[in-house]
Structure 1
Amino acid sequence: MQPTINRLAVALSACGLLSVAQAQGAPEFKFSGFGTVAAVHSSEDQADFVATVFQPRGAGASDSWSFNLDSKLGAQASAVFGPQWSAVVQLVSQQNHDNDWVPHLEWANVKWQATPDLALRVGRTALPVFQLSETRLVGYANATVRPAPEIYRILPVTSNDGVDLSWRHTLAGGRNTVQAFFGTTKVDLPTGTIESDRSWGLASTFETGDLALRLGYSSFNVKIDADGVNTLNAGIAAFGTAAAPLPTVAARAAVLADRYRTEDMATRVLALGFSYDPGQWFVSGEAMRFDTESVLADTTGWQLVGGWRIGTLTPYVGYARIKADIDEEAAFAATGSGPLDAAAANVVGGINRTLQVLNGSQKTATVGLRWDFMRNTALKLQWDHTRIDEGSWGRLTNFEPGFEPGGKVDLVTVAVDFVF
């Protein structure tokens, strides 16, 4: 996380904690934590599989077996100041963008429980876009080793700096929770940053018996500052400068610059989810629609996961799909011959390659087994078989010269999840 954002969240929480502590007296403290130790093997040796876009290297081209992708350690401290006021701070250590393991501040917020059903949080909170937003880092709380990258890597940011409001009420014989958030976020990539200066969203979760249904809508104003897209923007700008004497070609360059911009990218996410868990077995599903006006393509993703509990063993299966709506940029001639035409071809080629790399379509079948062999600890064995769409680069990174789009990738993961 960026230092400025960290300071903001800490300052908000610290100011709230100070005023609350003065008003309420000595707080009640609680400490807890979670972690994962995991090893991942990939059959693809010409590219890396990474668990998040923030990781600089993964399993495959960089390492046949990687212990970095899913391994993490989190610690959480909470304080209760009275019936209305509380606070929480969560630190997480995992592989960062620069390949170190320095803990980052995942949560840091003050909560005001205005009524038994209405609560306001200020500071850094979980970004409530998806069904597993609150627990996506806690492997022990989830059936699979990791949430499906077909959905969760589309919006990899996990926290929001701002305000979060939740309201619980009775609806149609069940319990409904409406959650709203507003704020900003900024995170580091291996080659740059992603930030949103106007993030907001609404989500509604309805629960009745063993069934939970969720609907959410989120909006972001995104800026990407990263090597790959910056190179593309620089190439389009240089082409526009060279084409200035030709008004028609210069206008085409201006259209390309706006179409594939990486600033002020209006981005919207519609997410649907459900889970049904009567105890002996469970099934859950999630679908997402990602719409944007930028170099990122409009994308649809979904997943289904189900399992059966047999004592301490839980075999499970899953299937996930992501499909990007990519319309390749058509080639065009600038003058009919000469250097400007070669530049136009290079720009179009760079655009189409970037579209494929950033918006890889693929499908993954998952088979796994969870064994709760001791209290608060689970061993998971998981196999993921991914088929990358023809012409797609999939959800991979760190491509070697020998990588070919399309194809198949097999992942094997052994993980131990625990909470304390």
Structure 2
Amino acid sequence: MLYRFIIATALVFTGVAYNAYADNIKAEFSGFASLALSYSDNEDVAFSPNYLNVDDNGWSATRDSILGGQANITLAKNWDSVVQFVVEDHANTEFENYLELAFLRYRPSRNWAIRAGRLNSDLYLLSEYPHVGYAYLWVRPPHEYYSFASTAGKFDGVDIEYSQSINDGFLRLKLAAGNTTAKLKASGEDFFIDFDNLMTFSATYVLDAWTMRFSVSKANVGDYKFQALDEFINLLNSVPAPVWPQAASLSASFDTKNQTIEYAALGLTYDNDNWLIQSEIGISNSPWLVASSNINGYVSVGYRLDKVTLFSSVSISENRNEVTTVTAPQFLPGTPIQVTLPLQQLALASKAAVDRLVVHQHSINVGAKWQVLDNLIVKTQIDHFDIQPFGGGLWGISDPKNVEKEHKVNVFTVSASMVF
């Protein structure tokens, strides 16, 4: 609630200042858009660019299409404000899901900046422009890496930045604190998850053609809204320990109480003459089964030929820990079927839930980016995904039988991205 109050205060302050000092205030408006048509060729699994968006297969004109607008408002000396809205194919269509940025910034000196409101997380190389297709090489940010980033790409809180020229390079340090709520859909239901007491630190260093970023974060998993998960945990809690000892530990692993998520990332970009090379690796650590520990990363190489850039990327995402093995309940001889059958079904449901959340996939893509105009880029890209058995946690899988299968998916996309 505190950080939501900060957003409201920042917006109110901006509005009051605008009305009071309208003659001295300068407002600049800009926008960006991507219009994309894509085709996913596997009918058994549904593709989505990230956790927040609708997953589907076949042809889609909304999967990677985005429209965004931003207002940069100079309020007074050392004070400014930024508001950004982004419209895309979110599964949850609440207004708040489309508000990407809404902050008030104060610069007490050339080296320091303090922001309050809705902020970008600064955990990733693309943190400042994840929706601006014009600004990066691919049709969409690498799936294995930025699917996870979508749930923590923005937060409500404050951050403090220090920047300084060092030798021939430029260093930027940022410390942030806040909360965020991931608003998802699961099985057609709202699935909201609060991440409380979020703390992040990032260090970015730019030297000639090189950009390096290191970041760490930690958050407590807070309240959630998902009726199916409530019912599932309550059923596990109702099982007598002697009958099924594992039920209690499964309940604790699915529940959000006393759960934390830790994350560390390292990114590197080399951009010089014809070559553009970029790579990121991220490691998460969490005992919470809904967002278990993962390692993910990618390497991307682009080569410029006049106005056309050819590129290719390799990406991977895997669970870091062994997948939880669900053991069957044990019954005394003669136990009535009215007792054994519901518990056996609960054990099967537990195994299905555990298996469904595992992420284990890798992909390769090739594509081309064409600078048509100063503000218009056309891209085409082909992705080939290899999803391992029990590894489709980033995909929509409606038939439980398909969870245990290996899947190969090809996604073809053509897009036009512009800024205005």
TM-score, normalising length: structure 2: 0.89
What SS is found at the alignment partner of 1:153?
A: helix
CA change 1:367–1:200 in 2 (3 A) is: same
In the other structure, the counterpart of 2:16 is 18
Quick check: 2:24–2:76 contact (8 Å CA) kept in 1?
A: no
In the other structure, the counterpart of 1:269 is 263
The structural deviation recorded for 1:307 is: 0.4
- Please give the alpha-carbon distance, in whole angstroms, between the structure 2 residues aligned to 1:151 and 1:89: 26
Quick check: 1:55–1:99 contact (8 Å CA) kept in 2?
A: no
In the other structure, the counterpart of 1:38 is 36
In the other structure, the counterpart of 1:200 is 199
The structural deviation recorded for 1:37 is: 0.4
**What amino acid does structure 1 have at the position aligned with 2:317?**
I
CA RMSD, Structure 1 to Structure 2 (Å): 2.7
**What amino acid does structure 2 have at the position aligned with 1:213?**
M
Output aligned runs, 1:117-132, within 5 Å: 117-132=111-126
The structural deviation recorded for 1:344 is: 4.2
The structural deviation recorded for 1:11 is: 3.2
In the other structure, the counterpart of 1:358 is 357
In the other structure, the counterpart of 1:176 is 171
In the other structure, the counterpart of 1:334 is 330
- Please give the alpha-carbon distance, in whole angstroms, between the structure 2 residues aligned to 1:151 and 1:368: 18
Output aligned runs, 1:368-379, within 5 Å: 368-379=367-378
CA change 1:385–1:252 in 2 (3 A) is: closer
The structural deviation recorded for 1:46 is: 1.8
**What amino acid does structure 2 have at the position aligned with 1:393?**
G
**What amino acid does structure 1 have at the position aligned with 2:104?**
V
Percent of pairs with identical residues: 22
CA change 1:319–1:291 in 2 (3 A) is: same
**What amino acid does structure 2 have at the position aligned with 1:333?**
P
In the other structure, the counterpart of 1:309 is 304
What SS is found at the alignment partner of 1:257?
A: helix
What SS is found at the alignment partner of 1:333?
A: coil
**What amino acid does structure 2 have at the position aligned with 1:278?**
N
**What amino acid does structure 2 have at the position aligned with 1:231?**
A
- Please give the alpha-carbon distance, in whole angstroms, between the structure 2 residues aligned to 1:265 and 1:145: 35
Quick check: 2:17–2:75 contact (8 Å CA) kept in 1?
A: no
What SS is found at the alignment partner of 2:53?
A: coil
CA change 1:149–1:326 in 2 (3 A) is: farther
Q: 1:238 aligns with which of 235, 238, 242?
A: 235
**What amino acid does structure 1 have at the position aligned with 2:323?**
D
What SS is found at the alignment partner of 1:144?
A: coil
The structural deviation recorded for 1:262 is: 3.1
Quick check: 1:221–1:267 contact (8 Å CA) kept in 2?
A: yes
What SS is found at the alignment partner of 1:389?
A: strand
- Please give the alpha-carbon distance, in whole angstroms, between the structure 2 residues aligned to 1:11 and 1:39: 40
TM-score, normalising length: structure 1: 0.89
In the other structure, the counterpart of 1:285 is 279
- Please give the alpha-carbon distance, in whole angstroms, between the structure 2 residues aligned to 1:113 and 1:397: 44
**What amino acid does structure 2 have at the position aligned with 1:27?**
I
- Please give the alpha-carbon distance, in whole angstroms, between the structure 2 residues aligned to 1:142 and 1:126: 17
**What amino acid does structure 1 have at the position aligned with 2:311?**
Y
Deviates more, 1:4-13 or 1:80-89: 4-13
- Please give the alpha-carbon distance, in whole angstroms, between the structure 2 residues aligned to 1:7 and 1:95: 28
What SS is found at the alignment partner of 1:114?
A: coil
The structural deviation recorded for 1:32 is: 0.7
Deviates more, 1:172-181 or 1:299-308: 172-181
Q: 2:109 aligns with which of 108, 115, 118?
A: 115
The structural deviation recorded for 1:134 is: 1.0
What SS is found at the alignment partner of 1:399?
A: coil
What SS is found at the alignment partner of 1:47?
A: coil
Listed one character per residue, the Cα deviations across residues 352-378 of structure 1 (whole Å, up to 9, x for unaligned) are 322332232100101010011122111
**What amino acid does structure 2 have at the position aligned with 1:234?**
E
Gaps of 5+ in 1: none
- Please give the alpha-carbon distance, in whole angstroms, between the structure 2 residues aligned to 1:177 and 1:102: 29
The structural deviation recorded for 1:399 is: 2.2
- Please give the alpha-carbon distance, in whole angstroms, between the structure 2 residues aligned to 1:335 and 1:100: 47
In the other structure, the counterpart of 1:253 is 247
Quick check: 1:298–1:326 contact (8 Å CA) kept in 2?
A: no
Question: Is 1:417 equivalent to 2:414 in the alignment?
Answer: no
The structural deviation recorded for 1:24 is: 9.6
CA change 1:16–1:249 in 2 (3 A) is: farther
What SS is found at the alignment partner of 1:48?
A: coil
- Please give the alpha-carbon distance, in whole angstroms, between the structure 2 residues aligned to 1:187 and 1:234: 20
Quick check: 1:93–1:101 contact (8 Å CA) kept in 2?
A: no
- Please give the alpha-carbon distance, in whole angstroms, between the structure 1 residues aligned to 2:269 and 2:293: 26
The structural deviation recorded for 1:248 is: 3.3
Quick check: 1:331–1:345 contact (8 Å CA) kept in 2?
A: no
What SS is found at the alignment partner of 1:111?
A: strand
Question: Is 1:210 equivalent to 2:209 in the alignment?
Answer: yes
The structural deviation recorded for 1:146 is: 1.0
**What amino acid does structure 2 have at the position aligned with 1:132?**
L
Quick check: 2:239–2:247 contact (8 Å CA) kept in 1?
A: no
Question: Is 1:397 equivalent to 2:393 in the alignment?
Answer: no
Gaps of 5+ in 2: none
Deviates more, 1:285-294 or 1:402-411: 402-411
CA change 1:98–1:70 in 2 (3 A) is: same
- Please give the alpha-carbon distance, in whole angstroms, between the structure 1 residues aligned to 2:373 and 2:7: 37
The structural deviation recorded for 1:13 is: 2.8
